[in-house]
Each structure stands twice: as structure tokens, then as C-alpha cells.
Amino acid sequence: MRRRAAAVGRWLVLAVALLALAACGRSHVVRAPSAEARPAPRVSQPKPGATVVVQRGQTVYRIATEHGITPLDLALWNDIPPPYTIYPGQRLRLYPRDSREPRVASGAPARPPSPAAGTPAPGRAPVATPPAAAAPAPPASPIAWAWPTEGQVIATFLAGDPTRQGIDIAGKAGQPVRAAADGVVVYSGSGLVGYGELVIVKHNDQWLSAYGHNRARLVNEGALVKAGQPIAEMGRSGASRDMLHFEIRYNGKPVDPQQYLPRR
């Protein structure tokens, strides 16, 4: 009986070994791709002087890939902050601002070192240090802007802050939101994250206004609107309270609405 059990055990060990060998015979080795086989990193191909106008449904990623540019470069070249929202009718550059300016070779000094402040150069009279440049004035607007709704401003514009690209005006659900100037509706929908029910009005080739967090939209894309015309009802779509988020944009770049709205 013991001999029989030992024989069965030897056959089991032999069967396991044969199965292991068969598995090894079917295995293969996956080699890491060589450096030559790896795809080269994408490099943007700027087009100096070229621009593109955003159409409905387009995104930063789509426009960038269609023109051989990385989405990040396109956003940086046009000062588009996260979450990289663009609007129909907005004009984007396909090149950096300084693409046509001469660059200094790396490691070469841009200009000879100047004497220390207050120390005149040999043989020259002292030159007064010019005052620091003042902050640039906001672009002049030919549009007579009007307040889009009644209520207290509860959040103001802050340049460079992607969460404060306009002003927030508190109010009651359902109160009218009005066009701040004559124009044409270029967007009416809820597809832009963070704005809820949104209406965008184009006033000319340079100026847009945006109205977000509405309860209802009263106009469709392509509609001509007049200053003071109701275009939406105030709400809290995408917000924690009933309010209007209002933006004014010049060439796609947000500016402080309170610099253009009449004083209350």
C-alpha cells in the first residue's frame, strides 16, 4: 500500500513538472521600446501673425491639435487660465506674443552691465532714474454699458485669478437679467463648466459680455438683443446661492466690469 502511494506521488510530481515546462514553452518576453522607437515629444509649430476665431463647440484642445500646437501653449499664448474656457467669437493667436521679436542666445548677456544705481558712468553726467511704470489703463470701450441686474456686488474682479474673472451680483431667484448693451447672442447653454446656465452676447469684434448661473435662459443663439432687454432669469445653477456672475471681455480677455458700468 505504501509503495503504491509513493508511486502515485512520483507521478503527480512528474505531471506538475511537465505542465510547468509546457507553460514556459508558451511564454514570451516583452521588451521595452528602444529610444529610437519612442515617439518624440510634441513641439508646437507657431504661425506668426495667424489667428483663429472660436466657433461653437470648439475647445482649446481641438483648436490646438488642428493647428499643430499643444493645448497648453495655445492657452499660455492667449492668457487663458484654467479651466481653459473659451467662447464662440473669441479670437485666438496661433503664436506667442514675442514670436517675432529677436531673442538673445542662451548664456549671452542681453546688454553690458550698467553702473550701480546713483553712480554715473565715467565721463557722463548723472542721469535721473525714471519712475516705475504705472499699471496699464483699462482699454477704452465705445460701448455704453448698463448694469445687467439689480442687487449688491458680493464678489469683485481680480486680475489673474481664474475664479474672479468678473463680478457676482446677489439677488432673488427669477429676477430679470438684462443685456448690458446691444449685441447678438453667440452662446446660450449650460456646456461651460462652472457657469451653469450661461448666455454670452457679442457686442462687436472686440467686446463680449457673459451672464452665468441663471435659472432660465430667455434667448437663443443668433438672437439680436437690445440694452436692457431681459435675456435670462437669475438663479443658482452652478452656484451656492441666487446670483448673477457677470463678465466683460476685451479680445477674449476678462476686464473689470466695474471699470465700465455706471456708478450706482
- Whether residue 44 lies inside any domain: the answer is no
Q: Looking at 60, 76, 93, which one is the last position of a domain?
A: 93
Please tell me whether residues 244 and 163 are part of one structural domain: yes
Q: Give the pLDDT confidence of 152-208 residue by residue, as tens digits.
A: 999 999 988 878 999 999 999 999 999 999 999 999 998 777 889 999 999 998 999
What is the reported pLDDT for 35?
Answer: 37
**Would you state the cell numbers that stand for residue 12, as one nine-digit string?**
503527480
What is the reported pLDDT for 156?
Answer: 96
- Whether residue 72 lies inside any domain: the answer is yes
- Whether residue 255 lies inside any domain: the answer is yes
Distance separating alpha carbons of residues 202 and 225, to the nearest angstrom: 10
Which has the closest alpha carbon to 237: 188, 200, 197, 189?
Answer: 197
What is the reported pLDDT for 123?
Answer: 55
Q: Give the pLDDT confidence of 12-62 residue by residue, as tens digits.
A: 444 444 444 344 444 333 333 443 333 333 567 888 889 999 998 888 888
Q: Find out whether 49 and 91 touch, Cβ atoms under 8 Å.
A: no
Q: Find out whether 42 and 66 touch, Cβ atoms under 8 Å.
A: no
- Whether residue 19 lies inside any domain: the answer is no
DSSP 94: S
Which amino acid, residue 245? H
Q: Find out whether 82 and 117 touch, Cβ atoms under 8 Å.
A: no
- Whether residue 175 lies inside any domain: the answer is yes
Q: Residue 254's Cα: distance from chain center in Å?
A: 11
**Domain range for 77:** 51-93
- What's the total number of domains in the chain? 2
- Whether residue 207 lies inside any domain: the answer is yes
The domain that contains 78 carries what CATH number?
A: 3.10.350.10
Which has the closest alpha carbon to 156: 143, 165, 146, 147?
Answer: 165
Place of cell 513641439: 43
- Whether residue 141 lies inside any domain: the answer is no
What confidence tier does 81 reach under pLDDT thresholds 50, 70, 90? Answer: confident
Distance separating alpha carbons of residues 43 and 153, to the nearest angstrom: 44
Q: Give the pLDDT confidence of 202-227 residue by residue, as tens digits.
A: 999 899 999 999 999 999 999 999 99
Over residues 64-73, the mean pLDDT reads 85
Please tell me whether residues 158 and 87 are part of one structural domain: no
What is the reported pLDDT for 13?
Answer: 43
The domain that contains 193 carries what CATH number?
A: 2.70.70.10
Burial of 174 (0-12, 13-18, 19+ CB in 10 A): exposed
Distance separating alpha carbons of residues 52 and 66, to the nearest angstrom: 11
Q: Give the pLDDT confidence of 96-154 residue by residue, as tens digits.
A: 876 544 333 333 444 444 444 444 555 555 555 555 555 577 899 999 999 999 999 99
What is the reported pLDDT for 46?
Answer: 87
Residue 10 has pLDDT above 80, yes or no: no
What is the reported pLDDT for 141?
Answer: 93
Q: Find out whether 70 and 46 touch, Cβ atoms under 8 Å.
A: no
Place of cell 489703463: 137
What is the reported pLDDT for 53?
Answer: 92
Would you give the end-to-end CA distance of the chain in angstroms? 107
- Whether residue 20 lies inside any domain: the answer is no
pTM of the predicted model as reported, rounded to 2 decimal places: 0.58
Over residues 64-93, the mean pLDDT reads 85
What is the reported pLDDT for 194?
Answer: 82
SS3 188: strand
